[in-house]
Amino acid sequence: MAEPTTSQFVTVTVNGEQVEREVPARRLLVHFIRDDLDLTGTHVGCDTGSCGACSVLLDGVLVKSCAVLAVQADGASVTTVESLAGDELSALQRSFAEHHALQCGYCTPGMLMSATALLAENPSPSEDEVKAGLQGNICRCTGYWNIVEAVVAAGKGPA
């Protein structure tokens, strides 16, 4: 029987690279990503799992990394905002810039991850589908209108 322990050795594939670390069982995945792995694009905006600024893909599934323990990611893959751009910005990232879908940019990484997950399942979502897909991400600057437009436009592809 697996004995419960307060600290565990985890192996996680982060943005395609395997990392191995000893982590306390109580450490949240978001702190593991930000503080232990120095991937600071993933943000924290609340303490109740409400705001979605910490959204990442865990084995391809959109999750809030503040509501997952780092030890729960053992053996899994994690995809963060830092992986979205290659040599150039992705179409979605460009669309955010073109539609002024960000102001302070703090919610943006989480928004981009939610939109990425949505577009992976539904490559050209309607406005209502985008709104439903981004419901778990709070933005306090934009009122969401431009964000929704940016995602709808990214789904439509180049005009």
Partner 1 sequence: MLLREVSYARPGSVEEAVALLSAHDGARALAGGQTLVNVMKQRAASPDVLVDLADLDELRTIAVSGTTLELGAMATLTSIIRSSEVEVSRPILGEIAATVADVQVRNRGTIGGNICVNDPTNHFPPLLVALGATMTIRGAGGERTVPAEEFFVGVFETAVGEGDLLTRIDVPAGRGDGMAGVTLGVHGTYVANAAASVADGAWRIALGCVAAVPVRATAVEERLAGGEPDEASVRAAVEGLGATLDPPSDVHASADYRRSLAETSVVRAVLQAAERARG
Partner 2 sequence: MSTTETTGTPTLQKGFVGQSIPRKEDKRLVEGQGVFFDDVKRHGMGYLHFVRSPYAHARIGAVDVSAALALPGVYGTLTGDEVAILTDPFFQIAADPGGQVKDYALAVGKVRYLGEPVAAVVAESRELARDAAELVEVDYEPLDVVVDARAALEDGAPVLHEECGGNLSYTGVWEWGDVDAAFAEADHVVAISELHFDRFNSTPLELDGALVEFNRGTGQWTLTTNNQFPGFAVIMMAPAMRIGTDKLRFVTQDIGGGFGNKITSHPQLVACCLLARKLNRPIQWTEWRTDFHQSMSHGNERWFLDTEVAVKADGTMTAFRTKAVDDAGAYLRYEPLGGVIWSQVAPGMYGWRNIRLEFTQAMTNKAPVSPNRGYSRMQQLWFTERIVDIVAHELGFDRVELRKRNYVQPEQMPYETPNGCVYDSGDYPRSLDTALELIGYDTIEARREEAASRGKLLGIGIGSTLDSGTNNFGQSQLLNPDLQFSGNNEVATAKLDIFGEIVITLGTTPQGQGHETTAAQVVADILGCDVDIVHVRAGHDSYWNSHAGFSGTYASQFAVTGLGAVKGATEELARQMKTLASMVFQCPVEAIELADGFARIADNHEAALPFMALGAIPNANNAGFPTDPPPMNARFVYRPQFEVPDKERKFGNLTLTYAMQIHACVVEVDPETGVYEIVDYAAVDDCGVRINPQIVVGQVMGATAHAIGAAMFESFAYDEEGNLLTPNFYDYHVPHTLDMPPLKTASVESPSPFTPLGTKGMGEGGGGGIHCVCAALQDALRAAGGGIVTDSHNPYHRVWELLRHPDRSRGKIEVRSS
Residues of the shown chain interacting with partner 1 in the complex, contacts defined by CB under 8 A: 1-6, 8, 24-26, 28, 31, 44, 47-49, 52, 55, 61-64, 66-69, 71-72, 74, 114, 117-118, 132-133, 135-137
Q: Which two structure tokens, joined as six digits, stand for 46?
A: 């609340």
- Strands 55-58, 61-64: pairing is antiparallel
Q: Is 132 in the site for partner 2 (CB under 8 A)?
A: yes
Kind and range of the H or E run holding 145: helix 145-156
140 binds, among partner 2, partner 1, none (CB under 5 to 8 A by kind): partner 2
Q: Are 68 and 28 in contact (CB under 8 A)?
A: yes
The residue behind tokens 């959204």 is 55
35 binds, among partner 2, partner 1, none (CB under 5 to 8 A by kind): partner 2
117 binds, among partner 1, partner 2, none (CB under 5 to 8 A by kind): partner 1
Q: Is 131 buried (19+), middle (13-18) or exposed (0-12) by CB count in 10 A? A: middle
When the beta carbons of 19 and 44 are compared against partner 2, the nearer one is 44
Q: Is 144 left (phi over 0), alpha (psi -120 to 50) or beta?
A: left
112 binds, among partner 1, partner 2, none (CB under 5 to 8 A by kind): partner 2
Q: Are 149 and 99 in contact (CB under 8 A)?
A: yes
**Residue numbers at the binding site for partner 2 (CB under 8 A):** 24, 26-27, 31, 34-35, 38-48, 50-51, 53, 80-82, 84-85, 89, 93, 96-98, 100, 102-109, 112, 127, 130-132, 134-149, 152
